Every structure is written in structure tokens, then in C-alpha cells.
Amino acid sequence: MTEILKILERIGISPDEELLFEPISSHAACWEGFGDVETVSDYYEAIQCYIRTVALSFAEKGVKFSSLDGVMISPFAEIGKGTVIFPNVQIRHGVKIGENCVIGAGSVIENSTIGDGCVINATQIYNSVLDENVKIGPFCHVRPNTHLCAGVKIGDFVEVKNSTVGRDTHASHLTYIGDSDVGERVNFGCGTVTVNYDGKNKFRTVIGNDVFIGCNSNLVAPVTIADNGYTAAGSTITDDVPENALAVARARQVNKDGWVIKKKQRDAGK
């Protein structure tokens, strides 16, 4: 470990920096002409040896790795015993991960706290806090200033930004939650969007406990959905929804009987 640190110092990299996560091109000038590190191959060998040494130091403390391929961990991260890390994971500076978590392949975590028992699958998390037993992924983006409380489930293709999401709330797929205060046991239907930006300013959405948001709902902030409120699928909500109310904000369907037959007859007559 000491020798690797010396090599890193010679090529201009400090182990407490984010530089390990940057491409080789950003360090091209660092390794040229430095004794043992004279080629790109030498550079990569030094970096990979260092990364492996760091990973093995966590393994000795009870962290499990399915493979070390592509795994990059800051030596200053904190990772609890029993946590399993899969390939191609980056755990960057300022990260604290609890016990018995699963960090799935392709995940990136930076400056965030992850509680015990969380499952993170192919997700990027920045400057956020996840309480215990949160499940995320795949292909999610947790942006800065997000707090996901215990038992939250964030599914595929969901983005959360600058929001607090209460216990046992589910957003299972294709949802944007931005600048929002979300209560407990809320269900977001597929395609829900908190419309937080009017082209100039950002506004917040407030959602109470036990709320059901129908699929393809647009919640145009600033707006509040009170406890136990429902929104009908396909609604664009611009006014507050009272407690225990169902909000329907969409055009009414009209069925025109026989319209297709008449259309085909007109087309045939051309």
C-alpha cells in the first residue's frame, strides 16, 4: 500500500481526491518522464493496484465483492459489514454506507449516506440521504438534497431532486419528483411529473400521507395534494386537492359510433 501511495504521489494523484474517477486524458502530463511510470500501461497498473488494495481493505472489514472488476472506492468511504458490492461500482468521496446493503452493478454514489439494508441497482446518487431499507433502481437518478425515508421504493427510470419522500412511498417507474415534500405511503402512478419550473422560477409540490397519484398525472407547482387525496389518471392538476377528494382534470372521452365505417366509405369513394 505504501509503495502504491508513493507512485500515486509521483504522478500527481492524491488518494483523497476525485481524480481517480476521471479519465486518463486528464492526467496525461502527470506520468510522462516519471521513472517507473513512463507509459500509459504503467499508469493504469499503478491505479488498478491501488484500487484493488483499497477494495481488499474493505473486504477485510466484512464487505463482500462479487467481483473487483470496475470497482472504484474512495479509501475514506465508510461501508458496513455484510454489504455486497457488484462490478462497475463507484463509491466516491463523502460516502457512508450501512450494513447489509446491496450496491448493484453500474451504481455511482457520491457524498451521500445510505442506511442499513438498502438495495441500490444501477443508480446514480449525489449529495443525498437514504434511510434504512430503501430500494432503488434500475436506472434511477437521485440528485442533490434528496432524503428518501425508510422503506421507500424508487423504480426504473425515476428521477428525484431536492425532495423529501416519506416512509413506504412508492414511485415504481417513469416518474419525476422534483422540489417536492412527499408524505408517507404515497403511490405514484407511472408517468407522474411534478411540474416544478415555469421557465423562470422553481416551485414546490406538497403531497400528504396516503395519497394516490394516477398514471400520467402532471402536478403543476405550486400545488398541494392533501392527505388521502386521489388524482385520476391523465390529469393535469393546477389547483390544490382537498383531503379525501378525487381530482379529475382531463377532457371527457367521447365515443362516436360508426365513425370508422363512415371514414372508410368516404376514403373508398375518392
Q: What is the DSSP string of the chain?
A: -HHHHHHHHHTT--TTSGGGGS-GGGGHHHHTTBTTB-SHHHHHHHHHHHHHHHHHHHHTTT-EES--TT-EE-TT-EE-TT-EE-SS-EE-TT-EE-SS-EE-TT-EEES-EE-TT-EE-SEEEES-EE-TT-EE-SSEEE-SS-EEPTT-EEEEEEEEES-EE-TT-EEEEEEEEESEEE-SS-EEPTT-EEE-B-SS-B--EEE-TT-EE-TT-EEESSEEE-TT-EE-TT-EE-S-B-TTPEE--SPPP---TTHHHHHHHHHHT-
Interacting residues of 45 by C-beta distance below 8 A, sequence separation 6+: none
Q: Tell me the domain boundaries of the chain.
A: 122-269
**What is the pLDDT at residue 209?**
99
In which band, very low, low, confident or very high, does the pLDDT at 235 lie, cut at 50, 70 and 90?
very high
Give per-residue pLDDT as tens, 119-169: 999 999 999 999 999 999 999 999 999 999 999 999 999 999 999 999 999
Mean pLDDT (whole number) for 200-224: 98
User: For the ranges 50-54, 160-164, 245-249, which has the lowest average pLDDT?
Assistant: 50-54
Question: pLDDT: is 29 or 217 the higher one?
Answer: 217
Residue 180 has pLDDT above 80, yes or no: yes
What the block records as the C-alpha cell of 77 is: 468511504
pLDDT computed for residue 27 by the predictor = 46
Categorize the per-residue pLDDT at 53 as very low, low, confident or very high, splitting at 50, 70 and 90. Answer: confident
Write down the pLDDT at residue 60.
Answer: 93
Q: Comparing 15-29, 123-137, 179-193, 253-267, which segment has the lowest mean pLDDT? A: 15-29
Q: What is the mean pLDDT of residues 32-38?
A: 48
Neighbour tally for 78: CB within 10 Å: 15
106/208 Cα distance (integer angstroms): 33
pLDDT > 70: percent of the chain: 84
Segment 81-118, tens digit of pLDDT: 999 999 999 999 999 999 999 999 999 999 999 999 99
Mean pLDDT across the chain, nearest whole number?
A: 89
pLDDT at 240 over 80: yes
Residues classed as catalytic: 173
CATH number assigned to the domain covering 122-269: 2.160.10.10
Distance of CA 201 to the CA centre of its chain: 24
- Identify any residues that bridge with 191 across adjacent strands, giving them in sequence order: none
Instruction: Supply the pLDDT for residue 48.
Output: 78
Give the pLDDT band (50/70/90) at residue 44.
Answer: confident
What tens digit of pLDDT does each residue of 2-31 get?
555 565 566 555 555 544 555 444 444 444
